[in-house]
Amino acid sequence: MAYKNITVMEEFILLGFSEFPNFQGFLFVIFLFIYVSILLGNGLIIVITNVDPALQTPMYYFLGNFSFVEICYTSVTLPRMLMNLWSQKRNISLLSCAVQLGFFLILGVTESFLLSVMAYDRYVAICKPLYYPLIMNHKMCVQLVIGSWVTGMPVLMGQTYQVFSGPFCGSNKLHHVFCDMPALMKLACGDTSGDDFFIYIDCFLFALMPFLLILFSYVRILRTILKLSSTTDRSKAFSTCSSHLIVVCLFYGSGLIAYLQSKSSYSTRTDKFFSLFYIIVTPMVNPMIYCLRNKDFIEAMRKLFSKYVR
């Protein structure tokens, strides 16, 4: 009797912003502008960090990789959102939904680990400056980036399979703008406590642990900075970390709120808001934060534009 109302789902309906039927065209233009801005801004970071000799350092190597992940991360969700807004066809097959969720989780975890790697880079640079060239050599940087990509893949692919291997009940309407875990779990049938438990474990391993590593790194960095006698040195040290800290707060703040809320307190509007925050706002402001707050980057852009504008 418990499984009498189970529906064999073949597709979901992504409701998205269907509650605003008169604003579909306006929303399409807004999100298209945002997507193009993300592609251009993060693409510019990738180009400049690769072509400017002055930026061939571990910090900018990680920043270039982070920008690449931001482009991939956004491209998993925004093109589909734009297509739905333009065509008004909101259906997505079960397979496409699973692929979207899988890539979204993997890229989100990669971004999480890269943020912790960037914090570790700043820790070594400020707290152990004499050993920095030895510790953060090219081989170590490549290994850290590869590790950020592959560490969570097996677990997250298994998590995605587990979500879609179970039955879904009743309506196939997904109250979200893309196939995200909390919204899918809302439609899952039967006892989902096991799935919820593994979601919390994944959040701890792939989000909270990297965040705690970042926090630990910055506690050590702060202690070292406060010991500096020169005000100029302290100001310079703070400025190299402030951009990264802003991105960390934006990414982790919205992501943890969305994923750690209980199923009973789940709100579609809240989840939509915070999910849009971490798939759109963070990738969009990342180039602005690093470009406008970094003198070396501004100088590199000036040289690049003056070279090709002449």
| Domain contains 216 | yes
Residue 49 lies in a domain: yes
Structural domain includes residue 2: no
**What CATH number is given to the structural domain containing 298?**
1.20.1070.10
What's the rounded Cα separation, in Å, for the pair 173 and 183? 10
Model pLDDT, residue 166:
76
Per the structure block, which two tokens stand in for 103?
């890539």
Residue-level pLDDT at 193 = 66
The answer to whether residue 2 scores a pLDDT higher than 50 is no
Where is average pLDDT lowest: 13-27, 132-146, 250-264?
250-264
Assess if residue 3 is contained within a domain.
no
Domain hosting 22: range is: 9-309
Q: State pLDDT tens for residues 222-259.
A: 898 888 777 777 777 777 788 888 888 888 877 666 66
Residue 184 has what pLDDT? 85
How much of the chain is in helix, strand and coil states, percent to nearest 5? 75, 5, 20
Residue 21 within a domain: yes
pLDDT at 295: 77
Q: What is the pLDDT of residues 180-229, one digit of tens each?
A: 887 888 887 766 666 677 777 877 888 888 999 999 999 999 898 888 77
Contact 248, 278 (CB under 8 A): no
Q: What is the pLDDT of residues 43-101, one digit of tens each?
A: 999 999 998 888 889 999 999 999 999 999 999 999 999 998 888 888 898 899 999 99
Please return the burial class of 208, using the count of CB atoms within 10 Å of its CB with bins 0-12, 13-18 and 19+.
Answer: middle
Going by the DSSP 8-state scheme, the letter that residue 87 receives in this structure is: H
Q: Averaged over 140-152, what is the pLDDT?
A: 94
Q: Are 115 and 246 in contact (CB under 8 A)?
A: no
pLDDT reported for residue 238: 77
pLDDT averaged over every residue in the chain = 83
Question: Does residue 202 lie in a domain region?
Answer: yes
pLDDT confidence of residue 194? 66
**Residue 72: what pLDDT?**
94
Distances (CA, A) of 167 to 4, 158, 243: 12, 16, 44
- Which of the pair, 265 or 257, is modelled with greater confidence? 257
Residues 265 and 198 sit within 8 Å (Cβ to Cβ): no
Largest CA distance in the chain: 75
Instruction: Please state, as a whole number, how many other Cβ atoms lie within 10 Å of the Cβ of residue 251.
Output: 23
Domains of the chain: total: 1
Above 70 in pLDDT, residue 128?
yes
Q: Please compute the mean of the pLDDT values over residues 265-279 and round it to a whole number.
A: 69
Helix axes 282-292, 295-309, angle to 10 degrees: 90
Q: What is the pLDDT of residue 150?
A: 93
Residue 149 lies in a domain: yes
The predicted structure's pLDDT at residue 100 = 94
Query: What mean pLDDT comes out for the span 8-17?
Result: 80
Contact assessment for residue 271 and residue 294, using Cβ atoms and an 8 Å cutoff: no
Residue 219 has what pLDDT? 92
Going by C-beta distance under 8 Å and a sequence separation of 6 or more, which residues neighbour residue 105?
A: 152, 156, 159, 160, 181
What are the two backbone dihedrals, phi and then psi, of residue 148, each rounded to the nearest 5 degrees?
Answer: -65, -35
Q: Is residue 1 part of a domain?
A: no
Per-residue pLDDT at 117 exceeds 90? yes
